[in-house]
Every structure is written in C-alpha cells, then in structure tokens.
C-alpha cells in the first residue's frame, strides 16, 4: 500500500470514529448508564412497581405524562417543572388532569441516592411509562437513553402543541407530522386510550351541544350517547368516565373495536375513521384481535421517545425534577 493510500485510510478511520462518537453524543442509545449508573433501570423498575402494584390505574397517567412531555419541546422533562414567574406547561388546561408526578419524584429520589446527578428526569419519565405499561400486562419495549433535561417550560407552548380531544383528522395529521410521526403512529398511539379515564368535559360537547344548537355528535352511537348522559350532566367537570368501558385497566385491542362501533369517547378517536389509512388500521386491529397492536405500539413509543430530545452537552441533569438546577 502506498503512503498516500495509508494516509487516506487513516483519515477515513478517524472520520468514522468521530462520526460514531457524534452519533453517541447526539443520539440516544441502549445501556446509556451502564458505566455511570449500572443499576439505574432496575431502580426505576423496582420503585415504579411499588406504586403500580398497589394502584394499577396509575399506569395510564404515567403513560400520558410521557406523551404530554414529548409533544411540547420534545422529551425533555419540561412537563415536570413548576411554574415560577412564568407559568409552566403543567399549569396549562390540558395538563391540569395529569397525575403521577409523585411516582416520578420517588423514582428520581431513589436513583439520586445510588448515582447523584447522573440520570435525567426526561429518561426517568420514558422508563416509567414503559415499565408501568408492562406491569399491567401491556407491551414492553427497549428504551434508548441519554436524554437531557430542558430548562424551559411554557404554558402557551403546551396549549399550542398538545393534540386536543376535539381535533379532527386534519388537525391530528398536522400535529403528529410536526413531531415527525406519521398516520400509522397516530392510529397506534391513539390505542393508548385502551387504558385510563377522562373527565366529562373532554367530550361533553358531543352529548349536549355539538354544533352549538343543543345537538349531539352524529358520528357517535346514539345508544352510547344515552349511556354517557347518565354519567355526565351538562357542564360536569369532575366526573371520570372509562375510556375503554369494561377493560380500562387492561392494555388490549378493545379500543379499536369500540372505535369501529362509533363508541370512541373523543372526537379525536372518531376522527380515525375519517382517513383511509387510520381507518384501515382500526378495522384491521379490531378484526384480528390486536394481533400486531402491542408490537406496533412498542415501535411507535420508541419513535415518539426520540422527539426533540436534548443530548450531549445540551440541557442539564436536574437534581429535582420540578426545578432547574
């Protein structure tokens, strides 16, 4: 080999090493804390299990916390920050019903005891969402780690970025596309509504005043409307209703069966029938009893968990999840 070729080969190797390092610094990777906090993931699991084993209904809010974090400023733990002079995301109307902050705080505290200042709150939110879903016999997925915590949290950004239960299919499409998520991700992640509850106010307009003339939503099964009216009176802001009646504690494919029967609770659920691709996915899962739903959900959750992440030297690793350092 001539000298020139050797030099070129050496330069290519150096560039390849630099590129790999750049990917590791800028991106997320599995086993990120292997050297700096080897027991991090087992501590997260154990602490989360302490809560979810006693109260399985916590799984849905903990999953929702991850969604609401990632859709505003990316998965950077900004939803956990308390308001200061500026109002933070957690005080925006769509986030007032978020629960599970105490679980995140307990996990953070346990991890800090083992490895102070190493594991980010953003990574903890992602791990707790996965662990809590798998603890109620839902799917599990590998969670690439290395997210850093953001220092900014703004109420108005939550209002602008979170998908609303009142969205139509066009609005949902735009909202998900802005996060790099496609129509399949929309159909799959909507399936998260197989667990959890909602306040009447998030769908009350469909029962009593859909178009401003005291009417009901024609896209909803009238028998289901009658059932919901028995639980939710006009203007009810406190009553909770199961999103997947009969199996709201179980991660299953029933959600899709309900949507095919025009019994999705939100306008955003019904909207899945207004696009050829999302409609096909809904009917397919209903017909095959969700044979690929769990696998699809795992794939879309990993994808969502990468949205707008801070890595490397960006952001910080908070000591307390509700406050910047």
Could you list the active site residues? 68
Both tokens of 322, joined, read 């509700």
Q: Is 149 helix (H, G, I), strand (E, B) or coil?
A: strand
Distance CA(49)–CA(56), nearest Å, equals 9
Q: Within 10 A of 129 (CB to CB), how many other CB atoms are there?
A: 29
Please name the residue that has the structure tokens 């735009």: 174
CB 32 within 8 Å of CB 146: yes
Integer Cα distance of 118 and 147 in angstroms = 11
In the block, tokens 């102070």 appear at 116
By the 10 Å C-beta count (0-12 exposed, 13-18 middle, 19+ buried), 218 is classed as: exposed
């Amino acid at each position: 080999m001539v000298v020139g070729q050797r030099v070129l080969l050496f330069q290519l190797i150096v560039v390849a090493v630099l590129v790999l390092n750049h990917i590791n610094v800028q991106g997320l990777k599995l086993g990120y804390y292997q050297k700096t906090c080897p027991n991090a993931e087992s501590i997260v699991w154990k602490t989360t299990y302490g809560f979810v084993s006693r109260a399985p209904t916590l799984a849905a809010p903990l999953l929702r916390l991850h969604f609401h974090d990632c859709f505003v400023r990316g998965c950077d733990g900004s939803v956990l920050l308390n308001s200061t002079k500026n109002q933070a995301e957690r005080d925006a109307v769509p986030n007032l019903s978020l629960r599970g902050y105490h679980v995140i705080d307990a996990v953070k505290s346990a991890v800090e005891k083992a490895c102070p200042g190493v594991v980010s709150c953003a990574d903890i939110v992602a791990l707790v969402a996965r662990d809590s879903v798998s603890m109620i016999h839902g799917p599990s997925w590998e969670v690439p780690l290395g997210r850093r915590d953001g220092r900014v949290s703004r109420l108005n950004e939550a209002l602008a970025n979170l998908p609303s239960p009142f969205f139509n299919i066009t609005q949902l499409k735009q909202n998900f596309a802005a996060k790099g998520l496609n129509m399949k991700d929309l159909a799959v992640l909507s399936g998260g509504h197989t667990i959890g509850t909602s306040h009447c106010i998030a769908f009350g307009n469909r029962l009593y005043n859909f178009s401003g003339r005291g009417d009901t939503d024609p896209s909803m099964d009238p028998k289901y409307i009658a059932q919901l009216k028995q639980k939710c009176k006009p203007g009810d802001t406190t009553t909770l209703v199961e999103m997947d009646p009969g199996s709201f504690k179980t991660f299953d494919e029933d959600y899709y069966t309900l949507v095919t029967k025009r019994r999705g609770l939100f306008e955003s659920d019904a909207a899945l029938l207004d696009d050829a691709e999302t409609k096909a996915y809904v009917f397919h899962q209903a017909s095959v009893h969700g044979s690929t739903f769990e696998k699809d959900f795992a794939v879309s959750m990993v994808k969502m968990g990468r949205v707008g992440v801070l890595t490397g030297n960006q952001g910080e690793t908070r000591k307390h999840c509700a406050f910047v350092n």
